Each structure stands twice: as C-alpha cells, then as structure tokens.
C-alpha cells in the first residue's frame, strides 16, 4: 500500500533558522531518507520551495484563472513530501513519526487511491 | 422469554463471532452483513429446532456461507481464493479453539479504538461490534438522528479499509500507548453515561453498563494490566453510587447528602477487590489513583468519616501524573474539606484567574458551595448565578437553583 507523507510546518520558523540549525536539519533529513531507502519503502519525495513561489490555477467556464499564492492560507505550510510503500497505516505512521519535522510540525499521512498511476 | 434468552446468547457470543469473521474475511462490512444475517437466522431457527450445541460455531458457519455468497455477488468476475470452500467446510471444528478466538476480540478492540479514527467513531464502532448495540440504539444513547450515527460508522469503516488500519494487536513497544487510547475511549462512554451533557436523564445507566462491559473485556483479554484494572475498578465504584445520585424528581444529590444505604455494596466490594489486585502490581497510574479516591468515599459510612487527608494526598499524586484544570478543581474541593473552605477557595480563585476553566459551570458551583459553608451568602448567591448561566443539564440546574434558594 502506498502512502503520501505530507510535511507541514511553519515557514516563518524555517526561514528564521540559524545556519547551523539548517545544516543540522538537512543532515537529519538526509539520514531519514537513507533509512527509508534502506528499508526499501521509499518511492519518491522532495522538499518544496516556499509558498511564496506557489501559483494556483483554476479553470472556470473555460477561462483560466491564475492567482499568486497557495490554494489555502494556513498556519502551517506544506514544505515537502515522501511517497512510501508499506504494509498498512500503522507502518506508515511509524515512518511519519520518525520524520524530523514531526517534532515541531505536523505530518499528514494519506493512502494513495488504489489503481492510481505511479 | 425464549427469544430474550436467545437475544442474550447472541449478544454474548456475537463479538467473538464477528471478530473472527472480520479476521477471516479481511472485510469489516462484509463480515458485519453476514453476521447480521446469521443472527436473524438464529432468532428464527433456534426457537423451533432448539439451541445448537455450540451457538458460536453455528453462527460462524452460517455467516461464512453468507459471506462467500455475498463475495460472489459483489465481484462475480473475481475467482474465489483457493482453499476458501475447504476452510468453510472445516470451520466448525476449529472455530472455537479458545486462544485464537480471544485474540480476535482483542484485535477488534484495538482496531476500532485506533487513534486514526475520531473519538466519536471509536465509541460508535466499539458499541456496535463489541457490545452488539444496533445503530439505532447508539443513536438513541447519544441523542442524535440515526442517519448521523450510521454515516459516522460507514465513514469509519471506510477509513479502516481504505487507509488500511491493520487488524492486529499492537506490537509490544506500542501496546502501552495504544492501551491508553482504548481505556480513554471506554472512559468517555462511561462519563457520558455517568453525567450526561444532554437529554432527559442525567445518568444513562445503559452507557455505564456498556462501558463496564468493555472494561471487563479488556481486563479479561489483557490480564496483568494495572491501569485497565484501575479503570474497571473506578467505573464499578462510581456506578455503585448511581441510585443515590439523583432524587426522585431527577435532581442531582451531592455526595455528602446521598443516602449511603442505597449504594450498591456488591459493586463496591468488586471494585475494591479489582483495585487491590491492580495496586499490588506496583505500577501506579491515574485510573488507579482515581479509583482509590472513589474507594475512600465508598468506605465512609457517614460523610464525616471520609478520610480527606488521604484523598488530598491522592489528588496530589494525580496532579503530578496527569495535571489539568479539572483535576485541580477536584483537588481544591478536597483541600477545602481537609483544611477548611478558605484554603479551597484561594486555589479556586487562582484557577478562575487562569481562565483555564472559563465556561465550565462546576467551577463557580464549587466556589458557591464553599462560600455558602462560610456563611458569605451574597457572594455565594453571585457564584450560583454564574454557575446557573453556564449549566446545561436540567438535573444539575435544579440542584443549583435549590441551593441558591436555601441561601434565604
């Protein structure tokens, strides 16, 4: 079963981190990614650029509406994701809990709809 | 009479049968549907043909046949799993091998109380599958329209299937954390029964009974868990006071005015016994501490014999393990009984200033009670007014109004 692991956190907090803290965080994410790969559950993932770079598109009545910013303003922002393949939700939650940002942000875990193209 | 006996039998055997069916089929919905059919057939066949030798095995066989039938109808294109028909034929001899059957109910308990499900959904599924309540009965218990309850159950079952919540007892390293969740779900059911927030009756004996049934199940299935025993003891000791907690007109009767002769001695004895076993395990926890407080109240033949010093000490321990404003309020009330109303009032005023209990009627109600004891009638009246502005349940409202009236 494939799950997407969505990493939410405060962009403001990320932006104001000191250089050593940023390096520390990247080191932790590198280690986490390696663990996922080593366990054979990693199917993909990436950090995302901040929501200030986001653009939202809607097509209404055949007309394209393009607006600046993310789909919704929220307290915590989507900062990255992993795609993992594990036996069940319990295993997915175990991996999500190990994500470095679980300690100060929120990790949303959702199953991929079965039959979806990979 | 016979129908009632069969009803009771189905209710007793049901959770095991259903839990086994879910494991066997891997499909919550299918198992439930097949189980319903088997129960309906039992109610029809047993009065005519007599009880089968092993009712549980009978229900399992009928339900499995029905399940295979349903599988075929739903997905005629998918071939049946090899060996399924053989398993179906062979089930009767193996289906009541005790250890596996017990595992199934435990699996079911941890699955329906998975933290990935909303508390209300956990409660609904537990009452439905492990207590055998119908959707209509759950809706009535929680005073909501039946479609609301049904919808919630459908969504929860869909999440179990689609997010693939595993049907298993958690691994040893996660068991304590998950058991905590299971116990708190059971306690939520009990609390709503013990002092309902809405509805005609302040006490919902049916919900208390179901919570105790679930509490017994956990103690039976996970022997040696001190906190599970603590919760069962707590519920039994509270439930023992049920008959004395409301007057004939439904008004709340406070602890010190309750007729202690109508407290249920058998329940108190059982609760005390269960608590002693738990405490002897040497792994204290919040449920055991609360049960110990309830046991001290139960032990006092008259209110003035209550060991308030010991109760204050227990609240101190409780505050260290599970700090929170409601525990503090109860602790402050105990301090008032042990060391005088002023000491309790000072603590309650600090609580009021912190704002942590804003909107909670029992804080001004407790303050009013202490002010009343001190003879500070005007302040007591003002506090009763504040409590009356917040209280929701009519049974509690009537009590507060009575007290306000007595101030003269």
CATH assignment of the domain containing A88? 3.30.70.1060
pTM for this predicted structure = 0.84
pLDDT digits (tens, 9 = 90+) for B373-390: 999 999 999 999 999 999
Chain B residues whose CB is inside 8 A of the A88 CB are 164-166
- Evaluate whether residue B164 is within a structural domain: no
| Joined tokens for residue B365 | 């109600």
Chain B residues whose CB is inside 8 A of the A1 CB are 164
Considering chain B, what percentage of its residues have pLDDT values greater than 90?
Answer: 68
- Evaluate whether residue A64 is within a structural domain: yes
Chain B residues whose CB is inside 8 A of the A87 CB are 164, 166
Q: What is the pLDDT of residue B93?
A: 47
Domain end call among B96, B125, B150: B96
Integer Cα distance of B86 and A109 in angstroms: 39
- Evaluate whether residue A70 is within a structural domain: yes
pLDDT digits (tens, 9 = 90+) for B190-237: 988 888 777 777 778 888 999 999 999 999 989 999 999 999 999 999
- Evaluate whether residue A116 is within a structural domain: no
Listed in sequence order, the residues at least 6 apart from B396 whose beta carbon sits closer than 8 Å to its beta carbon are: B195, B202, B252, B361
More confident residue, B184 or A114: B184
Average pLDDT over residues B67-76: 83
- Evaluate whether residue B149 is within a structural domain: no
Yes or no, beta carbons of B116 and A110 under 8 Å apart = no
Average pLDDT over residues A89-114: 95
Q: Which of B162, B168, B170 is nearest residue A111 as measured by Cβ atoms?
A: B162
| A87 in B contact zone (CB under 8 Å) | yes
- Evaluate whether residue B334 is within a structural domain: yes
- Evaluate whether residue B32 is within a structural domain: yes
Lowest mean pLDDT among A93-102, B7-16, B261-270, B326-335: B7-16
Q: What is the pLDDT of residue B77?
A: 72
As a whole number of Å, the CA-based R_g of chain A is 16
Min Cα–Cα distance to chain A from B21, Å: 20
Yes or no, beta carbons of B166 and A89 under 8 Å apart = yes
Q: Which residue has the tokens 């709340």?
A: B252
Listed in sequence order, the residues at least 6 apart from A13 whose beta carbon sits closer than 8 Å to its beta carbon are: A104
H helical segments located in B195-285: 205-221, 226-239, 265-280
Q: Cβ distance B306 to B300 under 8 Å? A: yes
* Best-predicted range by mean pLDDT (A94-103, B49-58, B393-402): A94-103
pLDDT digits (tens, 9 = 90+) for A25-34: 999 999 999 9
Q: Report phi then psi at A66, rounded to 5.
A: -115, 125
Yes or no, beta carbons of B165 and A87 under 8 Å apart = no
Integer Cα distance of B219 and B229 in angstroms: 6
CA distances (Å), A88 to each of A3, A45, B134, B167, B175, in order?
A: 9, 19, 29, 10, 17
Min Cα–Cα distance to chain A from B114, Å: 9
- Evaluate whether residue A117 is within a structural domain: no
Q: Which of B114, B164, B168 is nearest residue A1 as measured by Cβ atoms?
A: B164
Number of domains within chain B? 2
| Joined tokens for residue B185 | 């779900």
Q: What is the pLDDT of residue B215?
A: 96
Yes or no, beta carbons of B165 and A93 under 8 Å apart = no
CA distances (Å), A9 to each of A46, A72, A84, B240, in order?
A: 15, 14, 20, 48
Assign residue B144 a region (left: φ > 0; alpha: ψ between -120 and 50; beta: otherwise).
beta
Strands (E) across B189-239 are located at: none
Min Cα–Cα distance to chain A from B138, Å: 27
Yes or no, beta carbons of B166 and A90 under 8 Å apart = yes
Considering chain A, what percentage of its residues have pLDDT values greater than 70?
Answer: 97
Integer Cα distance of B111 and B170 in angstroms: 9
| A90 in B contact zone (CB under 8 Å) | yes
The interface predicted TM-score (ipTM) is 0.84
Q: What is the pLDDT of residue A19?
A: 94
Locate the chain A residue with the closest alpha carbon to B178: A90
Min Cα–Cα distance to chain B from A19, Å: 36
Mutate which of A1, A2, A90 to test chain B, going by most B C-beta atoms within 10 A? A90
Chain B residues whose CB is inside 8 A of the A107 CB are none
pLDDT digits (tens, 9 = 90+) for B240-271: 999 999 988 888 999 999 999 999 999 999 99
Q: Cβ distance A95 to A5 under 8 Å? A: yes
Give the distance from CA A116 to its chain's centroid: 19
Give the distance from CA B81 to its chain's centroid: 39
- Evaluate whether residue B349 is within a structural domain: yes
pLDDT digits (tens, 9 = 90+) for B284-323: 999 999 999 999 999 999 999 999 999 999 999 999 999 9
Q: Report phi then psi at A86, rounded to 5.
A: -140, 175
Domain end call among B47, B79, B96: B96
| A98: nearest Cα among A3, A19, A7, A1 | A7
Q: Which residue has the tokens 């390293």?
A: B173
Integer Cα distance of B257 and B364 in angstroms: 20
Q: What is the pLDDT of residue A94?
A: 96
Q: What is the pLDDT of residue B10?
A: 83
- Evaluate whether residue B374 is within a structural domain: yes
Considering chain B, what percentage of its residues have pLDDT values greater than 70?
Answer: 93
Number of domains within chain A? 1
- Evaluate whether residue B295 is within a structural domain: no
Integer Cα distance of B183 and B186 in angstroms: 5
Q: Could you tell me how many CB contacts below 8 A there are between chain A and chain B?
A: 21
Locate the chain A residue with the closest alpha carbon to B114: A90
* CB hemisphere CA count around B4 (13 angstroms): 1
More confident residue, B184 or B204: B184
Yes or no, beta carbons of B164 and A110 under 8 Å apart = no
Yes or no, beta carbons of A93 and B163 under 8 Å apart = no
| B59: nearest Cα among B86, B95, B23 | B95
pLDDT at B137 over 90: no
Domain end call among B96, B112, B145: B96
CATH assignment of the domain containing B374? 1.25.40.10
Integer Cα distance of B68 and B114 in angstroms: 28
Q: What is the mean pLDDT of chain B?
A: 90
| A93 in B contact zone (CB under 8 Å) | yes
Integer Cα distance of B112 and B49 in angstroms: 35
Integer Cα distance of B158 and B28 in angstroms: 9
Q: Which residues pair with A2 in a beta bridge?
A: A85
Chain A residues whose CB is inside 8 A of the B166 CB are 87-90
- Evaluate whether residue A49 is within a structural domain: yes
Chain A residues whose CB is inside 8 A of the B165 CB are 88-90
Q: Which residue segment(s) compose the domain that B363 sits in?
A: 319-408
pLDDT at B90 over 70: no
Yes or no, beta carbons of B166 and A93 under 8 Å apart = no
Min Cα–Cα distance to chain B from A4, Å: 11
- Evaluate whether residue A23 is within a structural domain: yes
Q: Cβ distance B376 to B350 under 8 Å? A: no
Min Cα–Cα distance to chain A from B271, Å: 35
pLDDT digits (tens, 9 = 90+) for A3-59: 999 999 999 988 899 999 999 999 999 999 999 999 999 999 999 999 989 999 999
Locate the chain B residue with the closest alpha carbon to A88: B164
Q: Which residue segment(s) compose the domain that A30 sits in?
A: 2-111
pLDDT digits (tens, 9 = 90+) for B151-167: 999 999 999 999 999 99
């Amino acid at each position: 079963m494939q799950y997407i692991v969505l990493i939410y956190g405060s962009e403001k907090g990320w932006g104001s981190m000191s250089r050593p803290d940023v390096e520390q965080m990247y080191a932790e994410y590198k280690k986490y990614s390696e663990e996922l790969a080593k366990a054979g559950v990693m199917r993909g993932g990436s950090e995302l650029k901040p929501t200030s770079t986001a653009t939202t598109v809607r097509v209404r009545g055949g007309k394209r509406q393009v607006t600046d910013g993310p789909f919704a303003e929220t307290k915590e922002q989507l900062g990255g994701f992993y795609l993992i393949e594990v036996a069940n939700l319990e295993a997915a939650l175990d991996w999500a809990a190990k994500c470095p940002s679980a300690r100060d942000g929120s990790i949303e875990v959702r199953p991929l709809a079965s039959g979806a193209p990979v | 009479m016979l129908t009632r006996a069969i009803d009771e039998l189905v209710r007793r055997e049901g959770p095991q049968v259903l839990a086994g069916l879910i494991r066997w089929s891997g499909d919550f919905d299918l198992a439930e549907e097949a189980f319903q059919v088997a129960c309906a057939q039992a109610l029809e066949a047993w009065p005519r043909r007599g009880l089968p030798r092993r009712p549980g095995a009978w229900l399992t066989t009928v339900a499995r046949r029905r399940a295979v039938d349903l599988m075929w109808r739903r997905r005629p294109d998918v071939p049946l799993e090899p060996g399924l028909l053989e398993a179906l034929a062979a089930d009767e001899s193996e289906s009541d091998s005790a250890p596996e059957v017990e595992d199934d109910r435990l699996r079911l308990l941890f699955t329906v109380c998975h933290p990935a499900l909303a508390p209300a959904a956990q409660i609904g599924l537990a009452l439905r599958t492990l207590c055998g309540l119908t959707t209509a009965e759950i809706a009535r218990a929680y005073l909501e329209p039946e479609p609301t309850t049904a919808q919630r159950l459908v969504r929860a079952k869909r999440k179990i299937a689609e997010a693939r919540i595993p049907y298993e007892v958690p691994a040893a390293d996660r068991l304590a954390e998950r058991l905590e969740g299971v116990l708190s779900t059971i306690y939520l059911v009990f609390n709503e029964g013990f002092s309902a927030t809405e509805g005609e009756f302040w006490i919902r004996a049916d919900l208390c009974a179901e919570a105790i049934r679930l509490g017994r199940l956990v103690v039976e299935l996970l022997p040696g868990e001190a906190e599970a025993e603590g919760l069962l003891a707590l519920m039994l000791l509270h439930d023992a006071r049920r008959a004395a907690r409301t007057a004939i007109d439904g008004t709340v009767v406070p602890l010190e005015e309750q007729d202690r002769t109508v407290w249920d001695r058998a329940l108190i004895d059982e609760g005390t016994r269960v608590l002693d076993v738990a405490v002897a395990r040497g792994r204290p926890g919040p449920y055991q501490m609360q049960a110990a407080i309830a046991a001290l109240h139960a032990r006092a033949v008259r209110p003035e014999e209550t060991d308030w010093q010991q109760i204050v000490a227990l609240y101190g321990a409780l505050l260290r393990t599970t700090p929170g404003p409601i525990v503090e309020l109860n602790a402050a009330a105990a301090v008032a009984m042990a060391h005088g109303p002023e000491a309790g009032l000072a603590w309650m005023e600090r609580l009021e200033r912190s704002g942590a209990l804003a909107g909670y009627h029992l804080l001004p109600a407790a303050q009013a009670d202490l002010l009343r004891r001190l003879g500070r009638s005007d302040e007591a009246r003002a506090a009763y007014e504040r409590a009356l502005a917040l209280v929701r349940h009519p049974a509690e409202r009537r009590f507060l109004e009575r007290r306000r009236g007595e101030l003269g």
